[in-house]
Amino acid sequence: MGAGAEPHTSTARHGPGDPLGAGGQRPGPGYIGQVARAIAFVGDYNTSAMTYDIAIIGGGIVGLATARALLEKAPALKLVLCEKEAELGTHQTGHNSGVIHSGIYYKPGSFKARQCVEGARLMVEFCEAHAIKYDRCGKVIVATSQEEVPRLKTLYERGTTNGVPGLSMLDAAHVREIEPHVRAVAGIHSPNTAIVDYSEVTAALGRELVASGLTIEYKFPVSAITRVRGGGLAVSTPQHTITANKLINCAGLYSDVIARLAGANTEVQIIPFRGEYYFLRPERESLVRGLIYPVPDPECTLGYSGFWAMARKYWRTGAYEMYRSLSKKKFVEALQGLVPDLKGEDIIRGGAGVRAQAVRADGSLVDDFSIASGPDAIHVVNAPSPGATASLAIGRHVAGLATQTFGLV
């Protein structure tokens, strides 16, 4: 609840002025997760212009975090970041719930679990070092019936196994001490979960990186990637070309398209899911002190492949129906299950964001973060929530991969 409310639906991602999306063409099925094949085509380019060591595609928080980690490892690196918009972080990074997640939910040992816990720590450190305001408001996950308690306990064990600091199980009285308006039989308290404005983080990253020597090419919608005769890659928009020896793809919603442009064999498609936000009216903010979440419901969570198979099959129409079913009325009813005093007029629409979620050819969800690497290119194929929290850890991981596969020192 509060800033964390995120119902979903799908939406067309191919907007006006978006060269890759023209005609809404989708790449076909292929292969994910291992080696990106060498870039396919050969062209002649004026190689007297500067050739960068690495071109990063995508100026969201993951691309920026990757640039930061690379420059930390190798400060002399000639790095360029290509962003199709006129500003950084205007897609997922600029339209999300702003939660610094703690890492409770994710499968122990997964990238998500490790990088969320590590990333949350790094994000707080970054905010403190750059005087970015964040609110360590804490979070409670609440069971509203006895049937939910075993699932709550399983979550608690997961969180503890994942190394989430400060977790505790709460009885009903303790839940009420933390969140007086919540109806619950038990809960988990995560005191370190926080809220931040990721746009501020992005802006600070951008300033720091430019000062460290990063070149940013704005309004640079990459639409072709070709191999240059004599070595290197040409990364082009319809108007411009830059050359670089290696490529890192952090293009979010378009990571599958960029991977295919670069010759990678990826079986996944990125499916866009739209999330609506609601805010509590300021005069009713006393209803919620921090973040309140229900125990995830295995019958309807998006993480279940049944839903995704359905969403994939019918995603043009079916998921729209899904969106319609998540009307404000239904949303309020769901919230009232947690906070009975809440009324429809207490919440107002706060905007929307589009999630990039990788889905396999069989319709199953790629649950974990997914990064594919090859000799010329690394592709961050799937970095959905908690990707903003985890970004600085993902960046370090990608920089480590680049060191190995690109032979950086």
Ligand X SMILES: Cc1cc2nc3c(=O)[nH]c(=O)nc-3n(C[C@H](O)[C@H](O)[C@H](O)COP(=O)(O)OP(=O)(O)OC[C@H]3O[C@@H](n4cnc5c(N)ncnc54)[C@H](O)[C@@H]3O)c2cc1C
- Minimum separation from the CB atom of position 353 to ligand X (A): 3
- Minimum separation from the CB atom of position 92 to ligand X (A): 4
Is residue 226 part of the contact set for ligand X (CB under 6 A)?
no
Is residue 2 part of the contact set for ligand X (CB under 6 A)?
no
Residues 354-383 that bind ligand X (CB under 6 A): 354-355, 383
Stretch that binds ligand X, among 80-88, 155-163, 281-289, 292-300 (CB under 6 A): 80-88
Task: Answer for the pair 385, 45: CB distance below 8 angstroms, yes or no.
Answer: no
Among 68, 91, 121, 246, binds ligand X (CB under 6 A): 91
- Nearest-5° angle of CA 344, CA 105, CA 115? 120
3 state DSSP class of 379: strand
Name residue 261's amino acid.
L
Q: Which of these, 258, 251, 256, lies nearest to 269 by C-alpha position?
A: 256
- Minimum separation from the CB atom of position 185 to ligand X (A): 26
Is residue 278 part of the contact set for ligand X (CB under 6 A)?
no
Number of amino acids touching ligand X (CB under 6 A): 44
Q: Is 149 left (phi over 0), alpha (psi -120 to 50) or beta?
A: alpha
Residues 147-206 that bind ligand X (CB under 6 A): none
Nearer to ligand X, 335 or 354 (CB): 354
Strands (DSSP E) along 281-376, which ranges? Answer: 291-294, 347-359, 370-373
Q: Which of these, 96, 273, 113, 107, lies nearest to 202 by C-alpha position?
A: 96
Is residue 60 part of the contact set for ligand X (CB under 6 A)?
yes
- Minimum separation from the CB atom of position 393 to ligand X (A): 11
Among 389, 395, 398, 402, binds ligand X (CB under 6 A): 389
Is residue 21 part of the contact set for ligand X (CB under 6 A)?
no
Among 1, 228, 253, 295, binds ligand X (CB under 6 A): 253
Q: Which residues contact 409 (CB under 8 A, 6 or more apart)?
A: 74, 403
- Minimum separation from the CB atom of position 384 to ligand X (A): 5
Kind of pairing, strands 99-100 and 194-196?
antiparallel
Q: In what order do the strands lie in the sheet with 347-359?
A: 8-10, 269-280, 347-359
Residues that bind ligand X (CB under 6 A): 6, 20, 57-63, 82-85, 89-93, 95-99, 101, 220-222, 250-254, 258, 275, 353-355, 383-389
